[in-house]
Amino acid sequence: MTPGSTSAACAALFRRDLTLAWRRRGDIAMPVLYAVIVTTLFPFALGPEAALLARISGGVVLVTVLLAILLALDSLFRSDIDDGSLEQLMLAPQPLALLLGVKILAHWLTAAAPLIVVAPVLASMLRMPANVIPALIAALVLATPLLSLLGAVLVALTAGTRRSGMLLALMLLPLCVPVVIFAAGAVAAAQEGLPWVAPIAWLGAALALALVLAPMACAAALRIAMDA
Amino acid sequence: MRAAESANVLIEARALTYSRQDEVVFGPIDFAIHAGDIALIEGDNGSGKTTLMRILTGMLHTDEGELIFEGAPYTRDTTAGAIVFLGHHLGLKLDLSARENLHVAEGLYGRRDGADPLGVLTSVGLAGYEDEPVQRLSAGQKKRAALARLLLVPARVWLLDEPYANLDRDGIALVNRLLGEHAARGGAALVTSHGAVSFAGDEPRRIRLHA
Amino acid sequence: MANWVPLWLHKLGSPPIFYRFAGVVRPWALALAILAALAALYGGLVLAPADYQQGDAYRIIFIHVPSAWMSLFIYGAMAVAAFVGLVWRIKIAEVVAMESAPIGAAFTFITLVTGSLWGKPMWGTWWTWDARLTSELVLLFLYLGVIGLYHSFEDRRQGARAASFLALIGIVNVPIVHFSVNWWNTLHQGSTVRILGPSHIEMSMLWPLLTMMLATKLYYIASLFARVRADLIATESGKDWVRAIALAENGDRP
């Protein structure tokens, strides 16, 4: 790969973000820890009755994972803004949308993928039947990148502001309603022994669309937010 | 002489003005930067030096006045790869070493003919610190690591916002030497400074911003 | 991009011209809005007969339905203004988009409140996860997100541009939310009561409804113009035309 080519740029950025995440691996554990804590609170609040927990397990795990991703999203551009790396990224002679796509991918791998790994454990703690777990994993594999992509656009919009945590949640909620509905719909269908492919297919279609459009929207949003 | 000069104008500003909340920050100003020019942007605090820098990077947009790059409108497409920016935030990742930081810059911007990460770190006086995480370097050494990026990437126009801050006498001399060499190669640079600068070699062009 | 579009919009979008235009239109729009609203309320609350099923409770539709229409209409207007502002960088369009958001949020809030008031006698509960009400709630969050983002920037124009972008994302999102909430409702066998009742309405009910719709539209124009004028006076305070207005005002009452 020749230095300065688009593929070299993507590779360098991808390696940089993974290296940085590895050097701060404590941060990777935070969303997972958060998800574990929130999930363990539910049996304490609702009682340990197995039938009740099994009924709510899908929704609880999905919403918990969503909140954990929301928690991690703020770090997507935060350090790059603070140390000026984002300016360097924006001035690079490369398609910004592609670079941001690489950043979102690296962020998803370090922040969301560990959540998918622990999700079956959390679901089992809530007595989710084993035959529903594949539907849960399929829903998460499609829903989490979708949330990362949508969230990245909104994080980019708040890049020029100071306080953004609560605002980000407010902005993301309307966008994640359909994602939650279809992901939870797939799990609920699996729990009732019905075919759950249709909502998964909808999620897949939305993800394909978001993969193309979200990085471009993210680039446009970032240029607006940095225009001051 | 003038005809020859206008042939290699890199950046030209005509009546460039910037307003924030409908209050004029600076301008209208006119200037032309040719290949081989080092221009010093002067002005007091709040006179808009950093704002002008951000406009020249293309990140900040202004509706008033005209900005031209090599005869074409100043857009991302025309300036891509020709400009490198060093701002208040150095753009260094503190958890990475100076060498790793340069590898990222090389990947994003490409590499100047004959330059390599180790070589440019030596020429800014960071030999022996290549693999030290940047957060363990002193403020002056961080600045030098950021200056090394200028030598590594092929950009012709350097935009340096307060490059002398945090540098000792040797460091200031280093910046002046790098600028001199860059100009001799046919590059151009715009430099902001609010202090008195003893620029070695030719007298720089001056762009004055009135507060 | 065609050149005449920005030229034409720039002329209409010149702050002093818009300021004067809005100042002339606003009192008329407000007066007509009040007249139309009074007529509609008289028609709806007094003249129209009681519903054979719901009795007098249905009369809340004369507030609820026009508000619901306006909540969507204003979102559309805001998105159009946001698009114009983003593409052609026209200040007046940015201001119109940002000043529309609180009005739209207010109509959405009224829709939600009247909807749940209506829900109590109809469904026996203040809130139900009906598809329309849920979509309306999401719409309220969209409005609040736009307002919140606008105010979180120090530079108002930059905030307006960022919030305009969010408004455009939202306009894509609204139909998706509506579709998904409908799908979710059928999945969970929710309430099947239709808010809008039978599709053929009595003429005596229809005309107050349409008149109220006209009144809310006029009120939106009056309210928007008042807000835009206040915003322009504040943000353009350094400009000559504002100084001229201020001097003229002070000339009357020193």
Chosen for mutation from C153, C157, C233 (greatest number of chain B CBs closer than 10 Å) is C157
Query: What is the edge-to-edge ordering of all strands in the sheet holding B9-20?
Result: B23-34, B9-20, B64-69, B72-73
Q: Are C239 and B63 inside 8 Å of each other by CB?
A: no
Q: How far apart are CA B56 and CA C77, in angstroms?
A: 35
Per-residue pLDDT, C67? 94
What values do phi and psi take at B190, rounded to 5?
A: -115, 130
Chain A: partners with 3+ C-beta pairs within 8 Å: B, C
Above 70 in pLDDT, residue A44? Answer: yes
Residue spans of the domains in chain A: they are 6-225
Mean predicted lDDT score pLDDT of chain C: 85
Nearest CA in chain A to C152: A161
Tell me the C-alpha distance between C57 and C224, whole Å.
Answer: 32
- Those residues whose C-beta lies under 8 Å from the C-beta of residue C75, and which sit 6 or more positions away, are C104, C139, C142, C143, C167, C170, C171, C174
pLDDT digit string (tens) for B39-72? 888 888 778 888 999 999 999 988 788 899 988 8
Tell me the DSSP string of C131-159. HHHHHHHHHHHHHHHHHHHHHH-SSHHHH
* Contact in structure between C134 and C101 (CB atoms under 8 Å): no
Domain count, chain C: 1
Residue C123 lies in a domain: yes
Provide, as residue numbers in chain C, all residues whose Cβ is less than 8 Å from the Cβ of B21. Answer: 155-157, 235
Q: Is residue C161 part of a domain?
A: yes
Interface probe, candidates A157, A212, A213, chain C, greatest C C-beta count within 10 A = A157
pLDDT at C206 exceeding the cut of 50: yes
Tell me what pLDDT residue B24 has: 84
pLDDT tens, residue by residue, B140-171 = 999 999 999 999 999 999 999 988 888 888 88
Q: Decide if C12 is inside a domain.
A: no
Q: C45 pLDDT band (50/70/90 cuts)?
A: confident
Q: Which residues contact B40 (CB under 8 A, 6 or more apart)?
A: B191, B192, B193, B197, B199, B204, B205, B206, B207
Question: B2 vs chain A: nearest CA distance in angstroms?
Answer: 32
Check pLDDT > 70 for residue B5: no
- pLDDT: is C134 or B7 the higher one? C134
The two three-digit tokens of residue A43, written as one number: 């049996």
Chain B: residue nearest C88 by CA?
A: B63
Of B61, B89, B154, Cβ closest to residue A84: B89
Quickly state the pLDDT bin for C17 (edges 50, 70, 90).
confident
In this complex, do A4 and B109 lie within 8 Å of one another by their Cβ atoms? Answer: yes
CB contact under 8 A, B108 and A226: no
Domains of chain B: 1-82+156-197 (3.40.50.300), 89-155 (no CATH)
Look up the domain containing C90 and give its range. Answer: 33-40+58-191+204-237
Cβ–Cβ < 8 Å for A184, A58: yes
With 0-12 CB in 10 A as exposed, 13-18 as middle and 19+ as buried, what is B50?
middle
Give residue C195's pLDDT band: very low, low, confident or very high (50, 70, 90): very low
pLDDT at C192 over 50: no
pLDDT digits (tens, 9 = 90+) for A128-160: 999 999 999 999 999 999 999 999 999 999 987
Q: Which of B87, B94, B109 sits opposite A87 (nearest CB)?
A: B87
Confidence of residue C191 (pLDDT cuts 50, 70, 90): very low
Using the predicted structure, report yes or no on whether residue C36 has a pLDDT greater than 60.
yes
pLDDT band at C4 (very low <50, low <70, confident <90, very high): low
**Interface mutation target, options A20, A80, A88, chain B, most CBs of B under 10 Å:** A88
- Partner A contacted by C69 (CB < 8 A): no
Cross-chain residue pair B59–A227, CB shorter than 8 Å:
yes
Residue B206 has pLDDT above 60, yes or no: yes
Contact A72, A30 (CB under 8 A): yes
Q: A228 and C155: CB-CB below 8 Å?
A: yes
Local confidence band at B1 (pLDDT 50, 70, 90 cut-offs): very low
pLDDT over 70 (residue C6): no
